Each structure stands twice: as C-alpha cells, then as structure tokens.
Amino acid sequence: MSLFTVSDACNGCGLCVAACPASLVRQAEPGARPEPLAGREAHCILCGHCVIACPTGAFVHELLPAKDFEPIDRKRLPEFDAVRHLLRSRRSCRTFDPTSVPREELLRLVEAVRHAPTGHNARQVGYVIVDGPARMDVARQGVLDWMEMEVAAKSARAAELHLGGAARAAAKGKDVIFRGAPHVAVVHAPDTGITPALDAAIAGAWLEIVAAAAGYGACWCGYLVFALDAHPPLGTLLGVPEGHKGYAALLLGRRAARPLAIPPRDMPPVTFF
C-alpha cells in the first residue's frame, strides 16, 4: 500500500515535502507531483503535517482519513493578550473544595490536551486519575509509607525534602500531601521511551493551563512524583501500566477561593546569541 496519494488538484508547490519531518515525501523536481519514498512507510510518525500543509487538498494520507481532520477556526483563536493574561493569572491551588469533579469534566480536560507535543510524535503519554475521597486516602497512605521508609533510612532525600516534618504534620491530620484536593492526575509514559519525562511534563503543564481556563484549581504534587520514582509498588497500586512510570502529578479540583490579583514576578534573564 502506498503511504499517500496526490490528486490532480496538486499544484506542485512542494509544501508537503518540506513539512514531512521524516523526509518520506519526495519531489523529483520543482513543480512535480510528490511521491512517497518507497519501502519507508513504517518510518511515518503519523503527524499529519503533510496533509495540512497542502493548500489545494490534493494530499491524501492512507493512514489518516480526511474525516478525522478538524478545520482550524481562526476566529476562535485567542489573541496574544488573552493568552498572556491566562498564563499570568494561573496560580497553584492549595485550598480545594473537597467535592469531586464529575468524570466527564475530568475527561474533557484530558481530551483538550491530547495534542500536547511528544518526542518523535510518539504519543505514549497516559493518565491515571485518582477519583474520590476513598481512593485519595489510599494514594495518600502510599505516599506516607514512602515518607516513613525514607525517614527511617535517614536518607539524603528525607533530609532534603524535610520528610520527617511532613510525616509528623500528616499524622496530626494536616493534608500536606494532597492539600484536600478531590483528585490527583498522574501523567505516565514508557520508562524506556524517547523523551518520557519531558513528554509527561509538557502534558501536565498543558493540563494545568486547561484546568485554569475551565475554572478549576491545580497544583503540582511533588511528594507523589518523588514517591512514584523511589517506590515503584505505589505506581502499581495506583494503576500505572507495567513498563510505564509516573513522571508528573497534578492535584485537581474546584478552588475553595479564587485569586483576585496577579503577584509580581521578575523578568527572567534573556540572552541572544
């Protein structure tokens, strides 16, 4: 099977050739109709850039049906100032309304970030969402068990993260781990992937921004990420697939109180080469 076909509507512009990151689209000469590189079909990363680059709609990818492509409505795209304000107004939430968020809402957030970039377009990121008070208690106890092991071993990590104090606060009923959030989303990826940690971090960052846009609170959960890294049975307990690792974790829920202003932040250093 040929990887793609090109109809008579092709104008020979070569934009599909330039767009293919794997160089699988070839043009014998300027203006000629593009052809697939024979025998290299398996190298296609299914990004779809060849299709969306074609200005005449002549390019048809055999593995990416035209019906699955969604047109871009440029009238709905936010302007720079709106995106800038959203990013600046985002704040880590540490006081949550304990009420659970409906699953369909959580799935809506994840669906919104499924286009987050991944290395080599591998798209192997997945999510485990701890859902509701009982499951959050199980996850919380798993993190506490890890903390107690680190403290008992007098590890460098225990000293670095002040785990002894965190464990004591938790024993007194203060939720220093999940901050009262009704959910935590663990972003996982294959532990032998191309860029798994970076892929998960990007997906988590996108999820945080989407949650802010939808009116929900979010906060990165460092204790859970450290526990997942140091104590693999916790990942198994939470349902992280075998061969995958939880690289990022985000608390999610409704805010108990909304921020009313944007605190100041210094401009980071920028150099030009």
Model confidence pLDDT, tens digit, residues 113-157 = 999 999 999 999 999 999 999 999 999 999 999 999 999 999 999
List the CATH code of the domain at 81-255: 3.40.109.10
61 to 8, 41, 123, 210: CA distances (angstroms): 15, 11, 19, 31
d(CA 155, CA 152): 8
pLDDT reported for residue 100: 97
206 to 57, 82, 166: CA distances (angstroms): 30, 16, 29
pLDDT at 193 over 90: no
d(CA 18, CA 52): 12
- pLDDT category at 2 given cuts 50, 70, 90 is confident
Domain boundaries, the chain: 4-68, 81-255
d(CA 152, CA 254): 36
- What 3-state DSSP class applies to 102? coil
- pLDDT category at 1 given cuts 50, 70, 90 is low
Of the chain, the percentage scoring pLDDT greater than 90 comes to 97
Look at strands 25-26 and 96-97 and give their pairing: unpaired
* Burial class of residue 152, CB neighbours in 10 A (0-12, 13-18, 19+): exposed
Write out the two tokens for 129.
Answer: 């969402």
Model confidence pLDDT, tens digit, residues 32-81 = 999 999 889 999 999 999 999 999 999 999 999 999 999 999 999 999 99
CA 81 to chain centre: 24
CATH class of 4-68: alpha beta
Cα-based torsion angle of the residue sequence 132, 137, 142, 145 in order, rounded to the nearest 10 degrees: 170
